[in-house]
Structure 1
Amino acid sequence: MCGIHALITPTPPASQPLPSLPPNLDHRLRARGPDHFGQVSRLVIPRTGSEIPSSSNAQSWTLRLTSTVLALRGDHVARQPLQYEDGKGSVLCWNGEAWRVRGRGVGEGNDGEVVFGLLSAAAAAAADADADAAVVEVLRAVEGPFAFVFYEAGQGRVYFGRDRLGRRSLLRRGKLGEGGGMELCSVSGEGEGWKEVEADGVYAMTLGAGGEVVERYEWVVGGEGEGNYVSGIGRFNKALPSGGAPPLTADSPSVNMLREQLLESLRLRVLHIPLPPASDADGKTRVAVLFSGGLDCAVLARLCHEVLDPGHGIDLLNVAFENPRVVAQLQKENGNLPDFYEACPDRVTGRRSFAELQTVCPGRAFRFVAVNIPYTETQAHRPQVVSLIHPHNTEMDLSIAFALYFAARGQGFSTQASGDGPSVPYTYPARVLLSGLGADELFGGYSRHPSAFQQRGYPGLVDELLLDVGRLGKRNLGRDDRAMSHWGKEVRFPFLDERLVKWAIDTPAWEKCDFENGEEISGVEPGKRVLRLLALNMGMEKVAREKKRAIQFGSRTAKMESGRVKGTTLIS
């Protein structure tokens, strides 16, 4: 995880140096990447041809690139922005993880350095007219979450964008031309006008003498983007069963296939993590799970047990809030003030799933981390969270971001024995967090999925699933990245591995969810049945039967002051 900032501005007179980063923006970038701060500048003179500079009175541009680094790949801190040793030529700001490039694993080295080498070599080898195609070809071949800004010196071109699922944040403000400048950044700075860069391709522009001309190269190669091609990853299987679909059971091939896909995704994301600076005594806890106790996160925790060395710990982060409206109701009903944190729905579910994990994974050092947030603390951090999630600005955005923001902060109460309640204050050391996001979209976990099946059968269900997975790259991952990365943590999404997503969208709907057959056949509800059956096969019966609950309601961040506030209400 890193912080990126790019400022492109008309070159000021020598007596007027570029303004430094505003203090607030500087702080946020350093918070995202506490291991290194780097900054480089390039003077860009527009060209009339491939080699000949334009007249001396043409407008020149200054490009200043800033990177902060959270070092999680390789055996050293890769000092960004990445550039040649002579401090000249092309520059890359890289915020992400390249798990595979051109179908092959990157290995244990630094992925940013690998990508920079491939981009530079591709652009240098290409003819002038083919430089864009060469650069885009490299980026299309990257599997993993990323946002980037790449200055290719040979053509004076700036490339920027987000991965095809939008798992990393990148914002943009301003336009070139007419004396104006442009900024790209992982977080919003001071002032208005910030917008999220769409996760729909690679953007490229030449720093020329005229106004701004930005071209977009889609993630899919020509023709493939039509119809049901999803996020540049693959085609959605819209097949309908002939007659009745076969029941989805614990022995169905898709259940075991999902297990293998998740294990491979987790191996990439939890192995070879460097020792955290603030590690526990033996450095054995390097991964934490955002843990409501629900199906998705509990399955990830259970499979981490199979991937990690037996001696490694796994922290389970469970957030509960003091919601004044709910506390008042509890006090009215009980006549006294109960432990409202332990009464929180996600806390109850979390402790139950924690106990089941301990039973089926004996010997694993699972630690339940109870993150309790008083109302006064929520209010104290409110301006910070509102600013971080900008340009998102609804009450629903804020209530979801609160839960993620405080979970990532790293402070709670440690419990290693179920049922004992919060015990000792604990600051978890892990800088890699796992999220179960994506499972509902891929496997039919939302309430609208059975509704679609009831109204139109399999055609309706297929259309609804395609709608959900097709807009994954347009959802709220950028917002979530900004909220959690502020604490120098990187969130990884095993369900959103490109190969897992490709398998899931290629799998017929009735092999993922089974609204045609009731619980009496398989023992679990139809929504996300393939994932529920996987949990059953791994001995987690209670987890397999957990109901879906939105994070803002499970942690009680929603409607803190009034039950009448709608999620779509703009933040005041």
Structure 2
Amino acid sequence: MCGICCVVTLCSQHAIYDFFNKDILCHLQRRGPDSSQQLVKTVSDLSYECLFSGHVLHLRGLMTPQPLEDANNNVFLWNGEIFNGVHVADVENDTEVMFHHLALCSSEADILSLFSSLQGPWSFIYYQASHHSLWFGRDYFGRRSLLWQFSKEPGSAFCLSSVSVQSESAHQWQEVPAAGLFKIDLKACATTKSLSLRLFPWKYSCTEKAAEAIFSNVLDQVSKDLPKDIPLVINASELCLTAPVIPLNKTISEASGGCPSTNVTNTIHMVSVETLQGFLAEEHRKKLVHQFIGVLSEAVKRRVLSLFRDEDEKSREIPSLSKRKAHIAVLFSGGIDSMVIAALADKHVPLGEPIDLLNVAFMVKEHAKQKGTTKKTTWEAQLGLPCPQENCKDLDAATGARLSCFDVPDRITGRAGLKELEVINPSRTWNFVEINVTLEELKKKRQQCISHLIYPLDTVLDDSIGCAIWFASRGEGLISNQGELKPYKSPAKVVLTGTGADEQLAGYSRHRVCFNKRGLEGLNKELEMELDRIASRNLGRDDRIIGDHGREARFPFLDEEVVSFLNSLPISEKADLTLPRGVGEKLILRLAAKELGLTASAVLPKRAVQFGSRIAKLESTNEKASDTCSRLRLLAVDE
């Protein structure tokens, strides 16, 4: 994973460093702590100049500083992982592999074919010297961040960067849409002193008919957020990228029906693991579940093994257990998504290597803590989980003892999930990292850095999720050592997350609302929209947040083969929202969890991180998730 940046000026009166400031450089260096360097390309006869800045987090093959430059003056910046599609040997670095393949491309069609073949997350910037062209873009799901900023003076300068900073003086930064590859003809732009963009969009098939309508729709979507003086055009030849996944299967069988005749989801049901066993008695369903486990397991395997491990560099001897460190961490709530990811990671992470389970909790307000001391929620009682205060000692934080003020729902289910994982593999060292955050620290870190990482997003929801993920992925907390909690900081460079499960498997409460109103046809449209917008709603933000700690976010549920498998199934095979919470949503994943040996966690209802970690209750309870968050805006005013 890397921090990449490119600044282009198209007229001599603008200095590159007017746009590339020390604050952006600092954020980029945090993403790539292992190597940082800059390269400036000046083309005097055409009056344009480019600064390329690369910051590397070393994960695969030999350490490869960026930017890369070849004998033909081409320059490449890469923030990605190739998991499939283009061969990368164990000893190779995928940045060098990609640059080599790009150098062999003799046409636009060749470049598009190369990027169409990739599986894995990526964003990139490529300067093609012979054509004075700048190519850039993000993968189909937008799993890697890339932002752009245009100068206030039309056509004079622009900047691309993995991360930015808020500033009142500068033009607004925006996320580069994950709509395809963009190309800028720098020679033409320098001549006319005006900037224009060409887009090569994603399509399911480049032989599709009705291309004109598809191109027009993409053009409208991307153009609406661009400055009015910057034209965007579809390439004249209508070349495109082939989407790496198949279209969503919207088949609705008669048996699965449409809208439920009665809203059975409002009825209280006692859900147990035995409920899932009945579904697995159906041969067809059990076969699908095992296929799903197989494809998801392979996705996890690619993400935990595509990683340089220290001991491989030396004698290849396995160090003693006491000296082995975790290379893989999981954002861990004890919910169904993180439990399945952890259970599958256990199958592929080398034996004897710890796995870090990062569990975040925000301090519960005193009055809220008192209200919850004697009463279990329905799901806690149903699953036999302890009350929030049970088995916890109210001792001073300095002693490293467990404090009940951090016993939020995700901490409780996290501990329960840890016990399930220890049953599945008692020989594995599971580092359950209790990450406790006070209101004071939250406010301090939000002002210092988190608000910049969330930017340009700005809603209450972005604030809650962004702050929770930042503290969780920092990995600083307490772990149990012979019954005593001791300080610990995760050394893992890779963080696995469950992002993408809810969007594909109808995991959100809004999906039940949609189903009750519009039936399966409406639900299918909703799920299709979820994946279409996941780049702009989630993934750029999460990449910036997690990358700030010098760690890389990896998303097994958004592996191209996992998405294609799930897209191939009708909705009735993936979820059944006529069933109660804890079973109906993400049904196929719950059945997979049961087959993997998980128990109570397999029937836990969905609980969003902002509620499970209790950050949503910490500062204001009267906000809507979609409101603009004043706490994120304040920083720009203060500056």
- TM category (shorter chain) comes to 0.7 to 0.9
Cα deviation per residue 1:455-474 (whole Å; 9 max; x = unaligned)?
34332332222222232233
Q: 1:552 to 1:219 in 2, by over 3 A?
A: same
Q: Quick one: which amino acid aligns to residue 201 of structure 2?
A: E
Alignment of 1:368-407 (within 5 A): 368-383=432-447, 384-407=449-472
Corresponding residue number in structure 1 for 2:538: 476
Cα deviation per residue 1:164-193 (whole Å; 9 max; x = unaligned)?
101111100015985621100011144341
Q: 1:464 to 1:427 in 2, by over 3 A?
A: same
2:618 is the alignment partner of 1:560: yes
Corresponding residue number in structure 1 for 2:338: 297
Cα deviation per residue 1:413-458 (whole Å; 9 max; x = unaligned)?
01267xx5x7000011101000011011111211233333333433
Q: Quick one: which amino acid aligns to residue 312 of structure 1?
A: E
2:335 is the alignment partner of 1:288: no
Alignment of 1:397-546 (within 5 A): 397-415=462-480, 423-516=485-578, 525-546=583-604
Choose the corresponding residue for 2:159, options 172, 177, 183. 183
2: CA distance between counterparts of 1:473 and 1:315?
27
Corresponding residue number in structure 1 for 2:367: 328
Q: What TM-score results when the alignment is normalised by the length of structure 1?
A: 0.87
2:320 is the alignment partner of 1:258: no
Q: 1:230 to 1:393 in 2, by over 3 A?
A: farther
SS at match of 2:351: coil
Corresponding residue number in structure 1 for 2:314: none
1: CA distance between counterparts of 2:579 and 2:620?
40
Q: 1:243 to 1:281 in 2, by over 3 A?
A: closer
Q: Quick one: which amino acid aligns to residue 7 of structure 2?
A: L
Cα deviation per residue 1:488-522 (whole Å; 9 max; x = unaligned)?
01010000001111111111111111235679xxx
Q: What TM-score results when the alignment is normalised by the length of structure 2?
A: 0.79
5+ residue gaps, structure 2: 218-240, 258-277, 312-318, 375-388, 395-402, 631-639
Q: 1:320 to 1:488 in 2, by over 3 A?
A: same
2: CA distance between counterparts of 1:301 and 1:364?
11
Is contact 1:96-1:146 (8 Å) kept? yes
Cα deviation per residue 1:147-178 (whole Å; 9 max; x = unaligned)?
11100111010001111101111100015985
2:71 is the alignment partner of 1:90: no
Is contact 2:360-2:468 (8 Å) kept? yes
2: CA distance between counterparts of 1:20 and 1:562?
36
Q: 1:314 to 1:213 in 2, by over 3 A?
A: same
1: CA distance between counterparts of 2:100 and 2:130?
15
Is contact 2:363-2:406 (8 Å) kept? no
2:177 is the alignment partner of 1:204: no
SS at match of 2:347: helix
2:359 is the alignment partner of 1:318: yes
2: CA distance between counterparts of 1:153 and 1:395?
43
SS at match of 1:356: helix
Is contact 2:116-2:242 (8 Å) kept? no
Q: 1:152 to 1:413 in 2, by over 3 A?
A: same
2:251 is the alignment partner of 1:239: yes
Q: What RMSD, in angstroms, separates the aligned Cα atoms of the two structures? A: 2.8
Choose the corresponding residue for 2:116, options 119, 131, 140. 140
2:280 is the alignment partner of 1:249: yes
Q: 1:514 to 1:230 in 2, by over 3 A?
A: farther
Deviation of 1:411 (Å):
0.8
Moved over 4 A (4+): 16-20, 104-108, 175-179, 223-232, 332-338, 516-519
Deviation of 1:17 (Å):
7.9
Q: Quick one: which amino acid aligns to residue 532 of structure 1?
A: R
Is contact 2:206-2:242 (8 Å) kept? no
5+ residue gaps, structure 1: 46-55
Is contact 2:326-2:355 (8 Å) kept? yes
1: CA distance between counterparts of 2:40 and 2:309?
32
Q: 1:151 to 1:516 in 2, by over 3 A?
A: same
1: CA distance between counterparts of 2:451 and 2:207?
40
Corresponding residue number in structure 2 for 1:359: 423
2:253 is the alignment partner of 1:195: no
2:633 is the alignment partner of 1:570: no
Corresponding residue number in structure 2 for 1:66: 53
Q: Quick one: which amino acid aligns to residue 293 of structure 1?
A: G
Deviation of 1:566 (Å):
2.1
Q: 1:458 to 1:133 in 2, by over 3 A?
A: same
Is contact 1:389-1:483 (8 Å) kept? yes
Question: Percent of counterpart pairs with the same letter?
Answer: 35
Is contact 1:395-1:568 (8 Å) kept? yes
Q: 1:44 to 1:502 in 2, by over 3 A?
A: farther
Q: 1:319 to 1:95 in 2, by over 3 A?
A: same
Deviation of 1:60 (Å):
1.5
Structure showing the higher helix proportion among its residues: 2
Q: Quick one: which amino acid aligns to residue 345 of structure 2?
A: C
Deviation of 1:82 (Å):
1.3
2: CA distance between counterparts of 1:17 and 1:185?
14
Is contact 2:326-2:354 (8 Å) kept? yes
Q: 1:92 to 1:341 in 2, by over 3 A?
A: farther
2: CA distance between counterparts of 1:518 and 1:254?
22
Is contact 2:135-2:182 (8 Å) kept? yes
2: CA distance between counterparts of 1:374 and 1:7?
39
2: CA distance between counterparts of 1:334 and 1:315?
29
2: CA distance between counterparts of 1:349 and 1:513?
23
